[in-house]
Amino acid sequence: MFEGLQEVVEELEIPATADALREAWRLVDQLTARAREATAEFDALDGPAGEGALSTLSWLRHHTGMDDAAAGRHLKAGRQLRHWPVTAAAARSGDLSASQVEVICAQVPAGAVERWAEHESLMVPTLTGGDVAHTRVAMTRWRQIVDGVDDPKPPTERNDLYLSVLPDGRHRLDGNLDARTGAVVGDAIRAAMRPDLDGEPERTPSRRRADALGEICAFWLASQPSPATARQRPSAHVVIDWDVLTGTARPGTSHWLDGTPISNAAIAQVLCDAQVHRVIVSGASTILDYGRGTKAVPPNLWNVIALRDRHCRFPGCAVPSPRCDAHHVHHWLHGGPTEPTNLALLCERHHTLIHLPGYQMKLLPDSGVEITLPTGRTLTSHPPPLTGGGAGGDGGPGP
Ligand SMILES: [Zn+2]
Ligand SMILES: [Zn+2]
C-alpha cells in the first residue's frame, strides 16, 4: 500500500547534520500523527475485534511489537485528536511534535476534552515550536485554570493510582491520594517498614518503603481464605528451560509468563515453596502436556514447619509464619529432601536475600539456623520453645 513511501525510506540517507536531523524527526512526527489517527479510526470501527483481538491495545502489541505503554499513548492520542481539529492539524504538519501531543493528551483529563476543543485554537499557536518542558508548563497552567472553573474541588480530593510495566520489566507506581487514604497508606507503610538487621545490606529509606509496600500486598494475598489451605500463595507463572533447571545450561531462556527474563536466584527462590506445574512443550509453542499443580511443600508439612519456627528464622526477624515461605536449605532441585530437617521459614525479604550469591544457610540438628554472610560472618537463631512464650530465641553473631 505504501510501496512508494517504503522505497523512499529504504533508499533514504540521512546526513548527520542539524538541518537534516530536524527535518527527519519532523517527518517521523508527521507520520506518527497520521498513524495515530488511523489507529483510532480502526479502533472506532471495531477493526481489532474483526481480527480476533480482544482490544486495540492487544492488537497493537501483537502486530506492531509495541509495549503496553507505547500502545496506550498512541491510542489515547489518536482518540483525543479526533475531537481536536486544530491540535490534529498541527500534529499532522509537524508543528507539534509527537511528544508534545502526548503531553497535551496527558494534561487534558477525560472530563475536559470539550474544554480543550474550545481553547485549542488559542493555545496551540503558543505551543508550536516549543519543547516538551515548555508544553508541560503551559498545559499545567491551563489545567489549573480549567480545574478551578470546572471542578471547584481541590486537587487533593482526587484519587487515582497507576501501576505500569516498564520495558525492562520493572514497574512504576504513580498516583494521587486524598488526605484520609494517604494517611492510611502512609501509616501502613511506616508500620511495615523494618530496620536493617545485623548482617543485612543497608537499604535507603525509599527502598525500605518499597519493600514495606510489597510486604503489605503479599500479606493481604496470603490472608485470603482458601478451601485448601489457610495460606494462599501469590501465584506466579515462570517458564524455565529444563536444562537451566537441572543446572546443565546457563539461564537466559527462563522468563516470567509475560516474557520478562528471570535471574537464577529468583528461579531458585520461586521454586523453593511454590505450586509447580509440569508443562511439556514441543518446539517453541506447542504444549504437549500440562500436569496437575504439585506443591513443593504440601500444606500439612508447611504447618509442621510453621508450628516449629513460628516466624522468619533470619536472626532478629519476627515476621510471623503466614507471611513466610518454607525455604529448602538444600534445594529440592539438587536432591534436597522436602522434610522438616531441610526446611525453615523465611519472610519474603530474607528469602530473597538467602538465595543471593554469597549467603549460606545451615539447619542444625537442634533446629538452630546458622547463616553465613558474604563477609564470612555467621549468625545463628533458634526456634521459640514449643510451649510457653512465643518470643524467638534469636542469637547474635556466631563464632
Ligand atoms: Zn528458598
Ligand atoms: Zn525475615
Separation of CA 87 and ligand 1 centre (Å) = 55
Helix, strand, coil % (nearest 5) of the chain?
A: 50, 15, 35
Ligand nearest the Cα of residue 314 is 2
- Residue 215, pLDDT > 70, answer yes
Separation of CA 361 and ligand 2 centre (Å) = 13
For residue 92, give the nearest of 169, 26, 160 by alpha carbon.
26
List CB-based neighbours of ion ligand 1 within 5 Å: 272, 327
pLDDT of amino acid 230: 42
Separation of CA 329 and ligand 1 centre (Å) = 7
Q: Identify whether the C-beta of residue 346 lies closer than 8 Å to the C-beta of residue 314.
A: yes
pLDDT of amino acid 278: 63
How far, in Å, CA of 17 to CA of 22, rounded?
9
Ligand nearest the Cα of residue 351 is 1
Separation of CA 273 and ligand 1 centre (Å) = 7
- Residue 92, pLDDT > 90, answer yes
- Residue 258, pLDDT > 70, answer no
Out of 63-77, 95-109, 206-220, 383-397, pick the least confident: 383-397
How far, in Å, CA of 136 to CA of 113, rounded?
17
| pLDDT tens sequence across 140-158 | 888 888 876 655 555 556 6
Separation of CA 340 and ligand 2 centre (Å) = 18
DSSP 234: P
List CB-based neighbours of ion ligand 2 within 5 Å: 312, 314, 317, 319, 347, 350
| pLDDT tens sequence across 35-85 | 999 999 999 988 888 888 888 988 998 899 888 889 999 999 999 999 999
Separation of CA 287 and ligand 1 centre (Å) = 28
Ligand nearest the Cα of residue 354 is 1
How many Cα neighbours within 13 Å face the side chain of 82?
A: 15
Separation of CA 312 and ligand 2 centre (Å) = 5
DSSP 72: H
Q: Is the dihedral of CA 145, 150, 153, 159 positive or negative?
A: negative
Average pLDDT over residues 357-386: 89
pLDDT of amino acid 227: 41
Separation of CA 357 and ligand 2 centre (Å) = 18
Separation of CA 389 and ligand 1 centre (Å) = 28
- Residue 161, pLDDT > 70, answer yes
Separation of CA 92 and ligand 1 centre (Å) = 55
Separation of CA 345 and ligand 2 centre (Å) = 8
pLDDT of amino acid 69: 87
Q: What is the CA radius of gyration of the chain?
A: 28
Separation of CA 305 and ligand 1 centre (Å) = 14
Task: State the pLDDT confidence band at 277, using cuts at 50, 70 and 90.
Answer: low
Ligand nearest the Cα of residue 313 is 2
Measuring CA to CA, how many Å separate 203 from each of 16, 173, 217, 358, 377?
A: 45, 19, 20, 18, 19
pLDDT-above-70 percentage for the chain = 79
Separation of CA 331 and ligand 2 centre (Å) = 19
The dihedral region occupied by 376, where left means phi > 0, alpha psi between -120 and 50, and beta the remainder, is left
- Residue 90, pLDDT > 70, answer yes
Task: State the pLDDT confidence band at 392, using cuts at 50, 70 and 90.
Answer: very low
- Residue 389, pLDDT > 50, answer no
Task: Show the cell assigned to 71.
Answer: 500502545
Higher pLDDT, 243 or 71: 71
Average pLDDT over residues 391-398: 43
CA 216 to chain centre: 16
Ligand nearest the Cα of residue 319 is 2
How far, in Å, CA of 169 to CA of 260, rounded?
6
CA 166 to chain centre: 7
- Residue 33, pLDDT > 90, answer yes
pLDDT of amino acid 197: 86
Q: Identify whether the C-beta of residue 265 lies closer than 8 Å to the C-beta of residue 357.
A: yes
Separation of CA 310 and ligand 1 centre (Å) = 17
For residue 201, give the nearest of 311, 355, 353, 396 by alpha carbon.
353
Ligand nearest the Cα of residue 194 is 2
Separation of CA 279 and ligand 1 centre (Å) = 22
DSSP 54: S
CA 231 to chain centre: 23
Separation of CA 350 and ligand 2 centre (Å) = 5
Separation of CA 324 and ligand 2 centre (Å) = 8
pLDDT-above-90 percentage for the chain = 34
- Which letter, b or e, does each residue of 366-393 get, where b requires 16 or more Cβ atoms within 10 Å of its Cβ? ebbbbbbbeeeebbbbbbbeeeeeeebe
The overall average pLDDT reported for the chain is 82
How far, in Å, CA of 136 to CA of 119, rounded?
16
Higher pLDDT, 50 or 230: 50
Looking at the chain, the number of H-run helices and the number of E-run strands are 15, 14
Task: State the pLDDT confidence band at 226, using cuts at 50, 70 and 90.
Answer: low
Ligand nearest the Cα of residue 338 is 1
pLDDT of amino acid 118: 92
pLDDT of amino acid 54: 84
Higher pLDDT, 211 or 258: 211
- Residue 231, pLDDT > 60, answer no
For residue 86, give the nearest of 41, 31, 34, 123 by alpha carbon.
123
Average pLDDT over residues 87-105: 94
Would you kindly state where each structural domain of the chain is located, as residue ranges?
A: 3-152, 163-192, 205-397
